[in-house]
């Protein structure tokens, strides 16, 4: 059955559009808190480590990349659950975000929640280097 004007199946595609929305909503507050706290902490650490009184451009980029890497440890499990919930091949396997977390841990182990961490860390590194090259 096709919905008028949308050109999509109302029974499958529309419901999958919002399937997996809970993890990004739950992720947003811890993600921002971690990123800002990590940025402050790493900034202080790098200023002390390099013996400079104020933040320089290079230290800001290093601090941002390190804070992004720290943030990745918080974000990756949420993104993994979101992707699993939205994946068409696994559509019937999970009954929501909590069920997905329980099944992933039970069937694959707790470290499976960090599948994709390496790609996320590379993304943060490339973004930091891109920022450095454009300045």
Q: At what angle do helices 57-86 and 97-108 cross, to 10 degrees?
A: 90
Model-level pTM?
0.72
Domain extents in the chain: 22-134
Q: How far apart are CA 22 and CA 100, in angstroms?
A: 12
Mean predicted lDDT score pLDDT of the chain: 84
Residue 48: the pLDDT is 96
Q: Are 55 and 63 in contact (CB under 8 A)?
A: yes
Q: Out of 6-10, 46-50, 84-88, 109-113, pick the least confident.
A: 6-10
């Amino acid at each position: 059955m096709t919905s008028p004007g949308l050109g999509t199946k109302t029974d499958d595609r529309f419901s999958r559009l919002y399937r997996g929305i809970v993890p990004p909503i739950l992720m947003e507050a811890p993600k921002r808190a971690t990123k800002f706290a990590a940025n402050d902490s790493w900034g202080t650490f790098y200023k002390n480590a390099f013996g400079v009184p104020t933040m320089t451009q290079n230290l800001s980029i290093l601090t941002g990349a390190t804070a992004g890497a720290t943030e990745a440890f918080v974000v990756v499990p949420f993104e993994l659950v979101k992707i699993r919930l939205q994946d068409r091949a696994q559509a019937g396997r999970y009954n929501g975000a909590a069920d997905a977390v329980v099944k992933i841990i039970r069937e694959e182990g707790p470290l499976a929640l960090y599948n994709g961490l390496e790609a996320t860390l590379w993304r943060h590194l490339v973004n930091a280097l891109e920022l450095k090259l454009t300045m």
